[in-house]
């Protein structure tokens, strides 16, 4: 592998690590929104009792 | 009609996208290729650009952990946790790009010198810091142990930085605040480094703010779940 190959590998690694991290934040955000809607559902059920 | 405001986070995103693009152009196009290493030296800009916000993130963990131990206020634990997560991501970038740069320049992927070994150790401590939270259910105990581990991990930062001065190492001497004979001289190379440092610092702030918001929302939801369960039991 020449210098440009190593350079491409390094910069690809930077974006892949950042993409993994940002995706994990987005997934956590989605999980929290799902849990919030479940809680809202439970509150509605409780109010209707 | 009044236009909706982007807010501070929107402003940060605009600055981040602009800075990241300019930093990439400077690092890959404008800065000249190194006379001895050639194009592979361009890894340096994002390699060093990542460790700086990594150090900032770990110093914040130190600050937040001390504040937590003094006040026992969970907000400091959540802020430290968010900073530790981002710091770990930046430290991972450093540990991955370093060997990719080392292979063509040193001839080996890794050398067990003081700089590389201490960076790996710091990374392992913060990996433990993040994983610890999934294995301890007792909130107060988890926060206390996290704070202690965070302080131990962040205490590694000065050792990692000064290791190249204190020991004989394969890793180059510091470029920022280093000796007169070390570092880069070409103005465009200095600009490429400064832009990468600025872009990654803004990225740290963006990710830390988002991570803190999520950690706080997670804690609020856990609290709500408990209160709701209690109400359901009563009803």
Q: Convert the pLDDT of each residue in B154-169 to its tens digit.
A: 999 999 999 988 888 7
Classify residue A12: in a domain, yes or no.
no
Count the residues in chain A: 49
Least CB–CB distance from A43: residue in B89, B101, B228: B228
Which site among B87, B104, B216 would you substitute to test the A interface, given the most A Cβ atoms closer than 10 Å to its Cβ?
Answer: B104
Least confident segment among B44-48, B127-131, B169-173, B224-228: B169-173
Determine the structural domain holding residue A23 and report its residue range: 17-49
Rounded Cα–Cα distance for residues B17 and A10 (Å): 20
Q: B175 falls in which pLDDT band (50, 70, 90)? A: low
Q: Is the dihedral of CA B66, B62, B208, B8 positive or negative?
A: positive
Put simply, the answer to whether B207 touches A9 (Cβ < 8 Å) is no
Q: Which of helix, strand or coil describes residue B178?
A: coil
Q: What pLDDT is stored for residue B181 in this prediction?
A: 57
Classify residue A8: in a domain, yes or no.
no
pLDDT greater at residue B126 or residue B166: B126
Output phi, psi for B55, to 5 deg. Answer: -65, -45
Q: Which of helix, strand or coil describes residue B34?
A: strand
Classify residue A7: in a domain, yes or no.
no
Q: B6 falls in which pLDDT band (50, 70, 90)? A: low
The pLDDT of residue B1 is above 50:
no
> Which H/E stretch holds residue B220?
helix B187-234
Residue of chain B minimizing CA distance to A5 = B40
Put simply, the answer to whether A4 touches B50 (Cβ < 8 Å) is no
Put simply, the answer to whether A9 touches B100 (Cβ < 8 Å) is yes
Q: Mean pLDDT of all residues in chain B?
A: 91
Least CB–CB distance from B96: residue in A3, A17, A28: A17
Classify residue A9: in a domain, yes or no.
no
Put simply, the answer to whether A10 touches B100 (Cβ < 8 Å) is yes
- Contact between B184 and B193 under an 8 Å Cβ cutoff? The reply is yes
Classify residue A5: in a domain, yes or no.
no
Strand partners, B38: B34
Segment B11-35 mean pLDDT: 95
Residue indicated by tokens 């600050």: B63
The pLDDT of residue B99 is above 80:
yes
For chain A, the domain total comes to 1
Put simply, the answer to whether B228 touches A46 (Cβ < 8 Å) is yes
Strand locations in A1-49 (E): none
Q: Mean pLDDT of all residues in chain A?
A: 91
Evaluate whether ipTM surpasses 0.90: no
**Residue B194 neighbours by CB under 8 Å, 6+ apart:** none
Classify residue A4: in a domain, yes or no.
no
Q: B190 falls in which pLDDT band (50, 70, 90)? A: very high
The two most distant CA atoms of chain B are separated, in Å, by 76
Residue of chain B minimizing CA distance to A37 = B221
The pLDDT of residue B30 is above 70:
yes
The pLDDT of residue B2 is above 50:
no
Tokens for B160, please give them. Answer: 């990692």
Residues of A with CB under 8 A from a CB of B: 1, 3-4, 6-7, 9-11, 13-14, 17-18, 21-22, 25, 28-29, 32, 35-36, 39, 42-43, 46, 49
Segment B95-101 mean pLDDT: 96
Residues of B in contact with A10 (CB under 8 A): 43, 46-47, 96-97, 100-101
Classify residue A21: in a domain, yes or no.
yes
Least CB–CB distance from A3: residue in B38, B46, B96: B38
- pLDDT over 90 for what percent of chain B? 73
Least confident segment among B42-46, B75-79, B98-102, B173-177: B173-177
pLDDT in tens, A4-42: 999 999 999 999 999 999 999 999 999 999 999 998 888
Q: B49 falls in which pLDDT band (50, 70, 90)? A: very high
């Amino acid at each position: 592998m020449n210098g440009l190959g190593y350079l491409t590998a390094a910069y690809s690694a930077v974006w892949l690590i950042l993409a993994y991290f940002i995706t994990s934040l987005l997934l956590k955000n989605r999980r929290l929104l799902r849990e919030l809607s479940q809680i809202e559902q439970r509150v509605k059920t409780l109010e209707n009792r | 009609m009044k236009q909706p405001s982007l807010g501070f986070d929107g402003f940060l995103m605009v600055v981040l996208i602009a800075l990241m693009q300019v930093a990439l152009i400077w690092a890959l196009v404008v800065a000249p290729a190194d006379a001895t290493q050639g194009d592979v030296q361009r890894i340096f800009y994002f390699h060093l650009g990542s460790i700086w916000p990594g150090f900032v993130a770990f110093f914040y963990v130190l600050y937040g952990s001390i504040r937590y131990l003094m006040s026992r206020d969970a907000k400091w634990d959540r802020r430290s946790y968010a900073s530790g997560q981002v710091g770990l991501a930046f430290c991972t970038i450093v540990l991955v790009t370093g060997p990719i740069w080392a292979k063509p320049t040193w001839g080996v992927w890794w050398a067990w010198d003081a700089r590389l070994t201490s960076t790996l150790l710091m990374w392992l401590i913060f990996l433990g810091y993040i994983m610890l939270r999934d294995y301890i259910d007792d909130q107060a105990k988890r926060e206390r142990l996290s704070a202690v581990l965070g302080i131990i991990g962040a205490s590694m930062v000065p050792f990692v930085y000064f290791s190249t001065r204190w020991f004989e190492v394969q890793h180059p001497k510091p470029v920022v605040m280093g000796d007169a004979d070390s570092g880069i001289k070409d103005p465009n190379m200095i600009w490429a480094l400064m832009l990468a440092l600025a872009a990654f610092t803004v990225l740290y702030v963006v990710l830390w703010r988002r991570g803190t918001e999520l950690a706080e929302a997670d804690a609020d939801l856990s609290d709500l779940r408990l209160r709701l369960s209690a109400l359901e039991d009563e009803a």
